[in-house]
Structure 1
Amino acid sequence: MKLLVVGNGGREHALVWKLKQSPLVKQIYIARGNAGSWQIAKGVDIDYLDIKGLAEFALREGIDFTVVGPEAPLVGGIVDEFESRGLKILGPNRRASMLEGSKVFAKDFMQRYQIPTAEYQVFDDAVKAKRFVMDFGTPLVIKADGLAGGKGAVVCYDQKTAMEAIDRIMVRGELGSAGRRVVIEQFLEGEEASYIVLLDGDRYIPLPTSQDHKRLLDGDMGPNTGGMGAYSPNPFVGEETEKAIKHQIIERLIRGLKEEGIYYRGFLYAGLMLTKDGPKVLEFNVRLGDPEAQPILMRIKGDFMKNLLDFYEGKAINLEIDKRCALCVVLASRGYPEKPQVGGVIYGLDAIKEEDVIVFHAGTDIKDGKVIAKGGRVLNVCAWGKSIKDARDKAYRVIESIKFEGMQYRRDIGAKALNLL
């Protein structure tokens, strides 16, 4: 079969790597991809937001199945477009994708169906938003309503930070239309967890648990990013906690979708805070997380392409999970996430000899025959290990041999889990 993967980042490189292992896949394309994914798939020079162009390509090339990586084309209706042309594609339709496309929609939905989340207020007026901050106090979290590439949530520990965030998002419009409305919500404390399932109507299959590291700097300091690293499994998600996540979050969400006539088929990501009062939803995403997808896909054994096809066709599937741990460290450009510096040549990739290590490319390109940094998040150094510590040690050893101008990364990925696994 011919397969199309849509997206440019580390998640998509990992998807191509995993799906290509299936004997069902004879040819795999990626639009547009990066310097890493082009080594194992045929690059297609169509932007992932060019939905009609991608659909026309899929028809022309006889693509049998499409898997979408990023959220923007899903929110933009790529599934609706492909399905209207009789093309098979895995992902939620435009209406279902509003769970990620609008923070206001998601928060109101959670409130309607008693899905535990932080208390919140919605504002489309900056003056009223600032007045609320002064009355409510800090800490709190300010979130742009629309898609902002992981840059739309600001944790505010003081009033000055909150006022600056409102000015940046609502007054100066630095996030464009995504910031016309904001959600201001209660600050939640606890350990974070990423809980991702394959969802089809009222059927769901949990994927391995994971924990992301959103903040730029060690110790969970600095601005929020798209994610600076992740590992799987998440030791903070025990049996009782997972039972609560399923019953109070996933199954209530499914009931709500059914009640509102919204059909959902694809990956569903619940970003959670494990509070002293139980798990609460920070956000819903309508796709695999990035960088959570990398360690999760590394731990799924067997033919994942067949798993996806069977799930798409309504058949029962049983995912076999590797007992080993997996960990991913993101290497980012100087200036990320605000103004990443790009264009530097990447050195050391050919010299990697460590066993059980794989490097997934994120923001990379090829110029004059050399791999260069093209985006904010550049590389994902990933490793398997018998423990988080083992995987972590391998990943950080490999990082020592990789260099590009302005390279930055967190040195504490997985540190919280070391005494628990």
Structure 2
Amino acid sequence: MKRVKKENDPQKRDDGSSFSSLSEDLIIKILLQLPTKSIPKLVVVSKLWSSIIRSKQFIDLYLKLSLTRPCFLLSFHRDSIQFFQIKPSQSLEAGSPSSSYTCTTSSYPLNLDTLSYNVYPPVCGLICFQNLDKVVVSNPSTGQFLVLPKLNTRRKGISRFLGYDPVKDEYKVLCMTVLQTSRKVVSEEHQVFTLGGGAEKKEKEEATWRMIKCKVPHCPVPKVKELCSNGLVYYGAWSNNKGKRSLIVCFDVTLEEFTRVKLPDGVEIVRFGSVLVNYHSKVALANHTDFGKFDMWVLGDVVKQEWSKISVVVPSWNDLVGRRDYFSFRGVVSSGKFIFASVYWRGPFSVISYDPKEDIAKRVEIEGLGDTLRSVRLYLDHVERPIIL
């Protein structure tokens, strides 16, 4: 009986299993062809498979392949459950000036009392959001999530950002609380939580929040999502210095240091109208993008803090949007196309794709999501990474 139980137990399959006849290279080739959601389940096949799946070599190979096929990530709220859905970018960008795309990929329910507008943009495959008084990190490609320990604070107002250090292969969650007095509003209690990239587990004593110093007095602007690029996290902020109402703060994920990025003269961060995007690997800021005509400022040199302006005019905007819908700019995908998504709409959720080279704009309706959606958010150039949380 014991022998039969051992053979049927996937945790105990090793050299006696039929999988032992496969070489390590062949196993890696098989795993690279599988959907991300299936990979965490296969760690129980054998010790060898578990070792391969958790190795930095395999995770990097899978990420490299995923970078060639970036996806759109949708988050939406239905029946008090958070869902995430991944779509091929090419499917949404293709089609005639007015076409539809049927959603067929699977969605992942997270049984948490979170709201979809709390979800921050994905960073190298992971996302971060707040669930009541808890900070949560999730891998939407696998459906897994990790609830981080409680922050070292008694305050309720918390700003949170997710960053990735490609050199050390580490994710870091940056949180800060906001102190408001009669004279100023400033961020305080800056804390960092470090997660490994999946290949190695952190020591238990390291898995805690650490207080760090911030020498740049500022307060993050609500509703303006951050941008992580090349190991740096950028986010909009208000300054307490006289004559400088708003700025961009840059957080170095490796050094855990803050620097101030000055905005062009006359440009301000708008709470409900600003968006930070990745424009050909450079940071860009756009304001008031809901009418298809706006200026976008591109940060060409972070050290010299030099900005250049790009004027965007989407052709036939009114015809594409219609009278009852409301669209806003979401960013620029790796192909160079500008993407706008529905904010308020009737009927299927829609996306507008604008190609500045061809000066052509298209609207694509996303069918199959259901009719009871709330707070839909679209994130661009999401990559799938089989990290086990």
TM-score by length of 2: 0.24
More strand by share: 2
More helix by share: 1
TM-score by length of 1: 0.22
